[in-house]
Structure 1
């Protein structure tokens, strides 16, 4: 069994990975983005993402260092990679790998995808099934992608149409949906961030499908949370947009992920 500190660190690392996945460009490019993660105003993690893309294939590498926060989460690290095809409609994952280390424990998830469906998956150590865990069914994996690829946003303009998106995500442990809804146009003005300029703000609704435990407090809290927000900013390449900021209200304070440096 995982310790409570490890489970909490894993969930927060998963959220960080999911909320700051970067898109590929339509031409050969290399993009480096750095994000800072805070909870209740206290720094807890740094996340670096490096993207390479040749117009038809992409590769994403994520490296997160978790500083820890009292008894809520343990210090540790997370590494993730996503590779697949790149097109005008975004990224399509073919392979995803995740490694997290926290509280002296290690967890890995390896998934392959084909034609928008999960082909194979394996996690180590295996997740313990019991009567309280919602079983994962094959039909639920017929439409699914990884935690980074669905955050490709492409469109003719930075407007409300970008928020019209459904994200069917499978982590190797859990299958859930993220539904985006337009909130408003906004502007990034802080010189301490990696971007200043127009933004689009979307709300995010989390719907657990399977793989979670019915008694899990974080799952139930996220499903009922009405304040999960994500702001998108444009890259230099027209029609391509990435997360600028993500915000999740928690009982321990706001979990905030902010773009602090962007090199295109």
Structure 2
């Protein structure tokens, strides 16, 4: 279950950015998640955006050697308003299932404010958990609504973003900055062409455990990287690759197939 949640969290880190064109788009992206070069999960992301409303769904499955220590699925859905500048979540649902156990999160938003959320089973608070405060539930988005970047072009401005995310368990901030322009050349991936590399800084705000190794590692890390590639529809960009260094090796998520 812990491994499955890490995969889901990785998908969440992938999905951090905002938007700016209002053209309709429909795309399906397939990703492979690997740890130290060994495939551990497959991820399918489906996006539909009419220019006014969007809906996204993510399905992740543990694969390969990871099944020796965990097997299961993660499903995420997000839906809300596509206002031409950004995706604004109105509903977010997460389900992870492993070893016969289900874990679910459901969140409702109104104009970037959380109006209701339910976590099942509920997380047990203790002295190590930083308390969620009501003020932390304003001006936030879900971790999936930021998956699609919308912008004028594939340039450094795509990386100039500051995000406030609420997952149902934690509130955290993400600062993105431009690292460099790059080129995707591997024939084994679902895209070849120009990409933009963004550096990610993660700052926990509340809901996290001060003793969490994962939280503390992410907060101290200066090597959370996302390469973005353009969709065929002008003004839309999706992650081509995500790279996160962990104590167990590099955790990577790479685009393997793209249908649009």
- The alpha-carbon distance between structure 1 residues 190 and 20, as it changes in their structure 2 partners (threshold 3 A), is farther
**Which is further off, 112-121 or 39-48?**
112-121
- Give the whole-Å Cα distance in 1 for the aligned partners of 2:18 and 2:156: 18
- The alpha-carbon distance between structure 1 residues 168 and 20, as it changes in their structure 2 partners (threshold 3 A), is closer
Pick the aligned partner of 1:254 from 226, 231, 250.
250
- The alpha-carbon distance between structure 1 residues 141 and 92, as it changes in their structure 2 partners (threshold 3 A), is same
Moved over 3 A (4+): 20-25, 68-73
2:11 paired with 1:16: yes
Q: Which runs of 5+ in 1 are unaligned?
A: 1-5
2:85 paired with 1:98: no
- Give the whole-Å Cα distance in 1 for the aligned partners of 2:17 and 2:223: 22
1:71 offset after TM fit, Å?
Answer: 9.6
Task: Indicate the residue corresponding to 1:186 in structure 2.
Answer: 182
Q: What is the TM-score of this pair, normalised by structure 2?
A: 0.94
RMSD, matched Cα: 1.9
- The alpha-carbon distance between structure 1 residues 200 and 73, as it changes in their structure 2 partners (threshold 3 A), is farther
1:103 offset after TM fit, Å?
Answer: 2.9
Deviations 1:182-221 (A, max 9, x none): 1000000011111110010011011111111111100001
Task: Indicate the residue corresponding to 2:138 in structure 1.
Answer: 142
Task: Indicate the residue corresponding to 2:53 in structure 1.
Answer: 57
Deviations 1:7-32 (A, max 9, x none): 34213312224415798973333211
Alignment check: 8 A CA contact 2:25 2:233 kept: no
Q: What is the TM-score of this pair, normalised by structure 1?
A: 0.93
Alignment check: 8 A CA contact 2:32 2:256 kept: yes
Pick the aligned partner of 1:41 from 37, 43, 48.
37
1:243 offset after TM fit, Å?
Answer: 0.8
- The alpha-carbon distance between structure 1 residues 45 and 120, as it changes in their structure 2 partners (threshold 3 A), is same
